[in-house]
Structure 1
């Protein structure tokens, strides 16, 4: 069966018969192609007869135009331009009877038809136009009916797959059987969701999966649902030919695949909420007995009875929070699956919580999630906190609190995108417990005085000197080395600091207060 034509501008499939097939009907057995052989694959969808001078105003694309040359009998020079005019209007071919009104076709007309690939057909004088019209139109209608029947059969088969609860595997298997091709459903990242066909043909298809559009033996159509692109249905023909009618069936398969994906997304959303609610109950100590927690965890594929670490990822305050939260859950789910198949992961309203094996490299899990998140979101980051090792489900609430605090204090210390472990927080754990930030600000101002602000460059520089002095336990030589100061210059600065702050070199309590004030200044967001 010769394929129909797909209009590039609209994607519409034009069903009909090719000019070559028209020449094969019995009424045209004696017809002769005199030019335009390269256009034999042009599709004839309708026929028309030219016996009036202004026929160009009435012709339509994909027509086979029949004529005796009567309108051109007195203007043979019009024949030179006729081919270009008809080709420009998208006609399939021109079939003419010579001898009655036009004796021969000009050489320029024949040459132009060859250049344009526009078939010129010489009709035998003993065949009537009505016989040609009846036979060719019958073939066109039969062809259209066959294509519609095939498409309807494919539609019924694919709908039955959905009604029977089938997934993408069943959809691709059905299409592979209908078209005798290798078929795969591919998501937006290029991952194969399902495939069907002989293994060697599926392997060849995977090699072609990155190809856009269509080639002779490959076709790709998008899977779209609710305005969102969910991937593609791709097909590879072992025979080397995929017809446009096959692409029409692939498009129906893509519609069915969109229904399957939408249905699965709805199921996943419910299951995801169920998992998140259960994990939230576990982390807040409301999940019930240890046995109940263990049983339900195993049902989700989780193992919470072993030593684990809790990680909390919180979106930093920027970007589209709703979209970013969805991608955050996806990124963390993929990262946890790569590092711990039995790990638990769930998204809450403003965070994602993961419970992974204590032996897993939690910092690498966080980096992998951050990398996947950055690939999916053009802007936005998240901060991650890690708990101490948790021996079992009973102590998970405490570990969750540690990870949550580590995420928030880590962001205050290091800014967006921080990864912090609870054991690395030190005194900042205590400072983070002070909810009254105004009191913290007052403490900093009272302790550091003019050094608390950055509006004066000299004062900010003195604060840096104070910080290094305290870090080196008042080791003047080491401090001078770190700051690249002369020893006497540093002695002068120490004297100036004591005049501003008090005799901190002799007062350990004052040194403690100064150290705490500098720590508070490091906590961003305070």
Structure 2
């Protein structure tokens, strides 16, 4: 059953943007005479490492975020290689390249400068008296100091979020606090389940984001992809980290880059906190399992008429977390499958229906009742009766996509305004399925009100008149078939379906024309009727349908 948002929120905990950038290099007294030759667009790149380039075959050990320095020695004999080296460094994610001039280069070639500008790679001209080893030490001291600050900040984040979960505040309070912490909305997305959304994503203007998040899980994380950045269809960049939880479906913690750029510490925080999310998911799953058992029994008793008073219904609905408001129009639906499903499969499908966020049927309830899958559909809108048919049609399409069955059908009872009347709607949905299967009625959605004369056949009580009618028109043919009379009932039914066309009947039954004529003559002989008489054909047709509903006792 869907989790409801909690109102409690953890006090906001925010950290400032902490990183050492290329621009910060120029504020080091040691580099007071250095200058940026080109690549101004990249001066805000974060520097995470420092290295000295000593050979032109060193690309394999270069890492993203490095501030790379060289005296120019590797290019002294082949200065043109520097031109080829610049795009490779940009591709590797190097933060900046510093070249000490006056040693092996008097000045940087215009072609090299143009190439660096083209790729947005900051190119620094270092003073000729600059000692690279001293510069490595100075820069790394600053980087490490900032990293220590980030680690402390990360530790504080983990401690605060752990404390929140230990207080039992719930998964929504966890997500809302994480949203405040990271400055961007977050979500937990799980396969075949509704996503859990933080406050910004639960707002009405964000209603289109959750299907994109769901598809993200199916497309990427559901296939075992590790943590990393991904792009939603609405162009939002996200950082996704798998949530590992025992006895639980594949899930992920998603950070959406909506309000501000995702910082490295934000991504690390998501990775570390994903394990906490897994613990909370395991708790949610345990609660769901218990709630699901109560809800299944509640719906079964509701539909079978075992809840006889409104007071009892309200009490049990509250215990089970039933979200349908009082006096809401609703109807019962029965799901028709291409082939019978096991009780365990129906139970799992009911759980999915209760947990999936169906776009057109919010508040839907489902349960397996015996060997059938029942749906309780709240009807909303200005005209409940007018909106019901379109709502059920759209629901059918969603169910077909959800369960992957294009032949799935829905059987609907009448709309009722009181909870205690739903038992009758469920009985009507079951009758609609029975009549449809027996009488071969066409359609994808069969409502009880559309059965017409077929529903009347079900209302004919057992008695002498019905037995006489069946003994006159139906039972003799069934008895003849049992004795080897030659598929008389099947032939006659197809004859009626083909509107009395013998040639079409023979084609449908893959039988010779004369064989069909012989069988129909035998029917007329046994019953003493004329198939050319419309009145007798009507009597015979109704008798066959009634016999299917009430077969012969022998």
Shorter-chain-normalised TM-score: which range?
0.5 to 0.7
Q: In 2 relative to 1, CA 72–206 (structure 1 residues): closer, same or farther, beyond 3 Å?
A: same
Is 1:35 paired with 2:38? yes
Q: Supply the distance in 1 between the matched residues of 2:488 and 2:97 (Cα, whole angstroms).
A: 93
> What corresponds to 1:94 in structure 2?
97
| Residue 220 in structure 1 maps to residue 238 in structure 2 | yes
Where structure 2 has 5 or more consecutive residues not aligned to the other structure, the ranges are 1-14, 214-229, 468-474, 502-516
Q: Which residue of 2 aligns with 1:484?
A: none
Q: How does 1:260-299 map to 2 (within 5 A)?
A: 260-281=280-301, 295-297=315-317, 299=319
SS in 1 for 2:103: coil
Cα distance in 1 for partners of 2:57, 2:279 equals 51
CA separation of 1:275 and 1:365: change in aligned 2, threshold 3 A: farther
Determine helix, strand or coil for the equivalent of 2:52. strand
1:63-462 to 2 correspondence within 5 Å?
63-181=66-184, 194-196=197-199, 213=231, 219-221=237-239, 225=243, 226-229=248-251, 233-234=255-256, 236-237=258-259, 241-250=261-270, 256-257=276-277, 259-281=279-301, 295-297=315-317, 299-300=319-320, 311-318=332-339, 326-327=348-349, 331=353, 346-348=367-369, 350-353=371-374, 361=385, 366-367=392-393, 369-380=395-406, 381-384=408-411, 386=413, 403-412=429-438, 413-414=440-441, 417-421=444-448, 424=452, 425-428=455-458, 442-443=478-479, 445=481, 452-453=489-490, 460-461=494-495
Distance (whole Å) between structure 1 residues aligned to residue 317 and residue 249 of structure 2:
36
- Separation (CA, whole Å) in 1 of partners of 2:65 and 2:324: 66
Q: Indicate how the Cα distance of structure 1 residues 187 and 513 shifts in structure 2: closer, same or farther if over 3 A, else same.
A: same
State the shift of 1:30 in Å: 1.3
> Which residue does the alignment assign to 1:517?
544
Between the aligned partners of 1:21 and 1:325, the Cα distance in structure 2 is 61
Q: CA deviation at 1:297?
A: 4.6
- CA distance in 2 between counterparts of 1:466 and 1:21 reads 92
Deviation at 1:347, TM superposition (A): 3.5
Give the Cα separation in 1 of the matches to 2:204 and 2:497: 65
What is the SS of the residue equivalent to 2:478?
Answer: helix
Three-state SS of the structure 1 residue aligned to 2:298 is helix
RMSD over aligned CA atoms reads 5.6
User: For residues 158-203 of structure 1, what are the alpha-carbon distances to aligned partners after superposition, in whole Å with 9 as ceiling and x for unaligned?
Assistant: 222222222343123312432345667789999885543799xx67
* Range moving further from structure 2, 21-30 or 89-98: 89-98
Is the partner of 1:419 in helix, strand or coil?
strand
CA distance in 1, matches of 2:102, 2:355: 79
Q: TM-score, normalised by structure 2?
A: 0.64
CA contact (8 A) 1:187 1:231 kept: no
Shift of 1:274: 0.7
Q: Cα distance 1:86–1:145, how it changes in 2: closer, same or farther (>3 A)?
A: same
Asked if the contact 1:316–1:382 (Cα under 8 Å) also holds between the matched residues in 2, the reply is yes
Tell me if structure 2 keeps the 8 A contact 1:185–1:233: no
Higher mean C-alpha deviation, range 403-412 or range 107-116: 403-412
How far has the Cα of 1:136 moved from its partner?
Answer: 0.6
Q: Kindly tell me: are residues 336 and 431 of structure 1, through their superposed partners in 2, closer, same or farther at Cα, counting changes over 3 Å? A: farther
8 A Cα contact 1:182 1:205, kept in partner: no
Shift of residue 139 of structure 1? 1.5
SS in 2 for 1:414: coil
Work out the CA distance in 2 between the residues paired with 1:302 and 1:81: 66
> How far 1:31 sits from its partner (Å)?
0.8
Compare CA radii of gyration and give the structure with the larger one. Answer: 1
- Please list the CA deviations of residues 196-226 of structure 1 after superposition, one character each: whole Å capped at 9, or x if unmatched: 3799xx6776687769837999653458554
Structure 1: any 5+ residue segments left out of the alignment? 5-15, 468-491
Contact 1:387 1:406 in 2 (8 A): no
1:490-519 deviations in Å (ceiling 9; x for gaps): xx99x979855553259x999855642255
Aligned length: 474
* TM-superposed deviation, 1:255: 5.7
Bigger shift: 64-73 or 124-133?
64-73
Q: Larger deviation: 218-227 or 114-123?
A: 218-227
Deviates more, 1:265-274 or 1:68-77: 68-77
- In structure 1, C-alpha distance between the alignment counterparts of 2:200 and 2:362, rounded to whole Å: 32
Change (3 A) 1:219 1:172: farther
How many Å separate the matches in 1 of 2:262 and 2:278? 22
- Cα separation, 1, equivalents of 2:355 and 2:62: 60
Structure 1 position 137, deviation (Å): 0.6
Question: Which deviations, in whole Å up to 9, do the C-alpha atoms of 1:14-47 show, x marking residues without a partner?
Answer: xx63322223322112112223333334443322
Shift of the 271–368 alpha-carbon distance from structure 1 to 2, 3 Å rule, reads: farther
